[in-house]
Amino acid sequence: MSRLPIYDIEDALLDALKTHTRLIIQAPTGSGKSTQVPQMLLTNGVLGDGEAVVLQPRRIAARMLGSRVAEELGTGLGEIVGYQVRFEKAVSPRTRIRYVTEGILLRRMIDDPLLRGVKALVFDEFHERHLYGDISLAQAVQLQRTRRPDLVIIVMSATLDTAALEPYLDPCHVLTSEGRTFPVDISYRDTRSRPSDPPVWELAADTLGRAIRQGAEGDALVFMPGAFEIHKTIQAIERLDEARGAVVLPLHGELNPRDQDAAVSRYDRRKIIVATNVAETSITIDGVRIVIDSGLARIPDYDPNRGINTLLIEKISRASSDQRAGRAGRTAPGHCYRLWSEPEHRERPLQETPEVRRLDLAETALMLKAAGFADLSLFPWLEAPDATTLERAETLLRDLGAADHNGVITETGRRMLAFPAHPRYARMLLAAETYGCVYQACLIAALTQGRDLLVRRTGKDSRDRRDDVLGDAAWSDFLILMRAWSFASRNQFRLDACKRMGIHAQAARQADAVFRQFLTIAERENLTVTERAADDDAVRKCILAGFSDHVARRIDKGTLRCEVVHNRRGDLSRDSVVQDADLIVAAEIHEIEGRSVNTVLSLATAIEAEWLADLYPEDMNTAVHVEYDPSSKRVQAEEQLRFRDLVLTRKRLDTPPADEAAMILAREVEAGRLTLKQWNHGVDQFIARLNFLSRTCPELELSPIDGDDRLHLIAQVCHGAAGYKDIKDRPVQPVIDAWLSSAQRHTLDTHAPERLALPGGRKAKLTYPPDGDPYISQRIQELYGLTETPRIAMKRCPVLIHVLAPNMREVQITADLKRFWQEHYPRIKQELQRRYPKHEWKDLNGTAPT
Contacts with ligand ADP, residue ranges (CB under 6 A):
4, 27, 29-36, 64, 68, 264, 284, 286
**Minimum CB–partner distance for residue 25 and Mg ion (Å):** 10
Instruction: Report how far residue 171's alpha carbon sits from residue 173's, in angstroms, rounded to the nearest whole number.
Output: 7
As a whole number of angstroms, the longest Cα–Cα distance in the chain is 135
The DSSP string of 290-325 is EEEE--EEEEEEEETTTTEEEEEEEEPPHHHHHHHH
Residue closer to ligand ADP, measured from CB, 4 or 647: 4
Instruction: Report how far residue 87's alpha carbon sits from residue 191's, in angstroms, rounded to the nearest whole number.
Output: 45
- The three-point CA angle 368-369-373 to 5° equals 80
Provide CB contacts within 8 A for 253, sequence distance 6+. Answer: 58, 59, 60, 276, 278
136 binds, among ligand ADP, Mg ion, none (CB under 5 to 8 A by kind): none
**Minimum CB–partner distance for residue 124 and ligand ADP (Å):** 7
**Minimum CB–partner distance for residue 100 and ligand ADP (Å):** 16
413 binds, among ligand ADP, Mg ion, none (CB under 5 to 8 A by kind): none
Exposed/middle/buried for residue 142 (C-beta within 10 Å: 0-12, 13-18, 19+): middle
Residue closer to Mg ion, measured from CB, 105 or 600: 105
Residue closer to ligand ADP, measured from CB, 286 or 788: 286
The DSSP string of 538-549 is HHHHHHHHH-GG
**Minimum CB–partner distance for residue 124 and Mg ion (Å):** 6
286 binds, among Mg ion, ligand ADP, none (CB under 5 to 8 A by kind): ligand ADP
Residue closer to Mg ion, measured from CB, 54 or 551: 54
751 binds, among ligand ADP, Mg ion, none (CB under 5 to 8 A by kind): none
Question: Which letter does DSSP use for residue 723 in this model?
Answer: B
Residue closer to Mg ion, measured from CB, 72 or 706: 72
**Minimum CB–partner distance for residue 342 and ligand ADP (Å):** 28
**Minimum CB–partner distance for residue 263 and ligand ADP (Å):** 9
**Minimum CB–partner distance for residue 62 and Mg ion (Å):** 11
**Minimum CB–partner distance for residue 307 and ligand ADP (Å):** 36
Which residues lie across from 334 on neighbouring strands? 184
My answer on whether omega of the bond before 171 falls inside 30° of 0, hence cis, is yes
68 binds, among ligand ADP, Mg ion, none (CB under 5 to 8 A by kind): ligand ADP
**Minimum CB–partner distance for residue 91 and ligand ADP (Å):** 18
Residue closer to ligand ADP, measured from CB, 63 or 189: 63
Residue closer to ligand ADP, measured from CB, 66 or 307: 66
Sign of the torsion angle spanned by Cα atoms 281, 282, 286, 292 = negative
Q: Within a 10 A sphere around the Cβ of 698, how many other Cβ atoms?
A: 10
**Minimum CB–partner distance for residue 89 and Mg ion (Å):** 20
Residue closer to Mg ion, measured from CB, 33 or 553: 33
288, amino acid identity = V
Question: Which letter does DSSP use for residue 40 in this model?
Answer: H
Characterize 281-290 residue by residue with b for buried, 16 or more Cβ atoms within 10 angstroms of its Cβ, and e for exposed.
bbbbbebbbb
**Size, binding site for Mg ion by CB under 5 A:** 2
Instruction: Report how far residue 548's alpha carbon sits from residue 398's, in angstroms, rounded to the nearest whole number.
Output: 10
Question: Which letter does DSSP use for residue 558 in this model?
Answer: S
656 binds, among ligand ADP, Mg ion, none (CB under 5 to 8 A by kind): none
264 binds, among ligand ADP, Mg ion, none (CB under 5 to 8 A by kind): ligand ADP
* Integer CA distances (angstroms), 303 to 297, 359, 827, in order: 16, 9, 88
**Minimum CB–partner distance for residue 126 and ligand ADP (Å):** 12
Residue closer to Mg ion, measured from CB, 33 or 427: 33
**Minimum CB–partner distance for residue 53 and ligand ADP (Å):** 16
Position closest to Mg ion via CB: 34
For 30-179, list the strands marked E by DSSP: 51-56, 81-85, 88-90, 97-101, 118-123, 152-157, 173-176
Residue closer to ligand ADP, measured from CB, 31 or 364: 31
Instruction: Report how far residue 42's alpha carbon sits from residue 778's, in angstroms, rounded to the nearest whole number.
Output: 104
Residue closer to ligand ADP, measured from CB, 32 or 401: 32
Helix ranges restricted to H, 525-584:
536-546
846, amino acid identity = G
Are 103 and 89 in contact by the 8 Å Cβ rule? The answer is no
**Minimum CB–partner distance for residue 44 and ligand ADP (Å):** 17
**Minimum CB–partner distance for residue 348 and ligand ADP (Å):** 24
Helix (H, G, I), strand (E, B) or coil at 268: coil
150 binds, among ligand ADP, Mg ion, none (CB under 5 to 8 A by kind): none
Helix (H, G, I), strand (E, B) or coil at 58: coil
Residue closer to Mg ion, measured from CB, 72 or 197: 72
Residue closer to ligand ADP, measured from CB, 61 or 766: 61
Residue closer to ligand ADP, measured from CB, 39 or 685: 39
Residue closer to ligand ADP, measured from CB, 261 or 523: 261
* Integer CA distances (angstroms), 481 to 276, 478, 541, 746, in order: 31, 5, 17, 83
Instruction: Report how far residue 79's alpha carbon sits from residue 34's, in angstroms, rounded to the nearest whole number.
Output: 18
For 104-218, list the strands marked E by DSSP: 118-123, 152-157, 173-176, 184-189
Segment 27-46, which members bind Mg ion (CB under 5 A)?
A: 33-34
**Minimum CB–partner distance for residue 452 and ligand ADP (Å):** 40
31 binds, among ligand ADP, Mg ion, none (CB under 5 to 8 A by kind): ligand ADP
613 binds, among ligand ADP, Mg ion, none (CB under 5 to 8 A by kind): none
**Minimum CB–partner distance for residue 603 and ligand ADP (Å):** 43
Residue closer to ligand ADP, measured from CB, 66 or 798: 66
Provide φ and ψ at 534, rounded to 5°: -120, 150
Helix (H) or strand (E) holding 238: helix 227-238
Are 817 and 791 in contact by the 8 Å Cβ rule? The answer is no
Of the chain, the end-to-end C-alpha distance in Å amounts to 126
- The 216-245 contact track toward Mg ion, x by CB under 5 A, reads ------------------------------
Sign of the torsion angle spanned by Cα atoms 469, 470, 473, 479 = positive
Helix ranges restricted to H, 371-476:
387-399, 411-416, 423-435, 438-447, 460-470
177 binds, among Mg ion, ligand ADP, none (CB under 5 to 8 A by kind): none
Instruction: Report how far residue 740's alpha carbon sits from residue 689's, in angstroms, rounded to the nearest whole number.
Output: 12
Q: Within a 10 A sphere around the Cβ of 249, how many other Cβ atoms?
A: 21
Exposed/middle/buried for residue 410 (C-beta within 10 Å: 0-12, 13-18, 19+): middle
35 binds, among ligand ADP, Mg ion, none (CB under 5 to 8 A by kind): ligand ADP
- The 140-159 contact track toward Mg ion, x by CB under 5 A, reads --------------------
- Where along the sequence are the contacts to Mg ion (CB under 5 A)? 33-34
